[in-house]
Amino acid sequence: MARRGINWAVEVLKRLKGLDFPAKKEQIRERLKDLYWHGMPMEKILDEVPKGEFSSPAELLHEISEAIRRLEDRGELPVTARRGINWAVEVLKRLRGAEFPINKEELAKRLEGLQWRGVDIRNLMSEIGKDKFESPAEVLHELSEAIKKLEEKGVVQA
């Protein structure tokens, strides 16, 4: 499904809520237990991450993305698995330093030029009814829901 990566990143951020960064891998492992990515336990994916500590959620998602790439290269995960994570990491990078709550106009400026599977971010933003976002996790959730709406309209293929 097209939005799996974003939904997964939202789930990771939800499970990390309240965790102070920098955070150790074992703290993260505990928060992400019982989470699966394309049928693979998160513990196995985290085993592929060489770092033992992460300075931010964006860094963690980046490292997980790289671990997934290695698993793809070995044929242990489908090659399309990483696509959504990379996009979610880019959203988080662009939100770095943003003051929350953030309004839709400021969010659109920060995400300008970003695309999801060839769909301009402005099209996604137009599907979001909210004008204010309380957290990066909420931004990813709302973008995921916007993608779902565009899938239902046939603009984006699932």
Q: Look at residue 2 in the predicted model and tell me its pLDDT.
A: 36
In a domain, 141, yes or no: yes
- Structural domain span for residue 115: 4-153
Read off the amino acid at residue 139.
V
Residue 4 has pLDDT above 50, yes or no: no
In a domain, 19, yes or no: yes
In a domain, 41, yes or no: yes
* Sign, CA torsion 62/63/64/68: positive
In a domain, 84, yes or no: yes
In a domain, 65, yes or no: yes
Question: For residue range 39-64, what is the model confidence (pLDDT) as tens digits?
Answer: 888 999 999 999 999 999 889 988 98
In a domain, 158, yes or no: no
CB 114 within 8 A of CB 90: yes
Question: For residue range 99-157, what is the model confidence (pLDDT) as tens digits?
Answer: 999 999 999 999 998 877 777 888 889 999 999 999 988 998 899 888 888 888 877 66
In a domain, 11, yes or no: yes
CA distances in angstroms from 99 to 22, 133, 147, 158, listed in the order given: 19, 10, 24, 33
CB 92 within 8 A of CB 57: yes
> What is the distance between the alpha carbons of residues 39 and 86, in angstroms, rounded to a whole number?
19
Q: How many domains in the chain?
A: 1
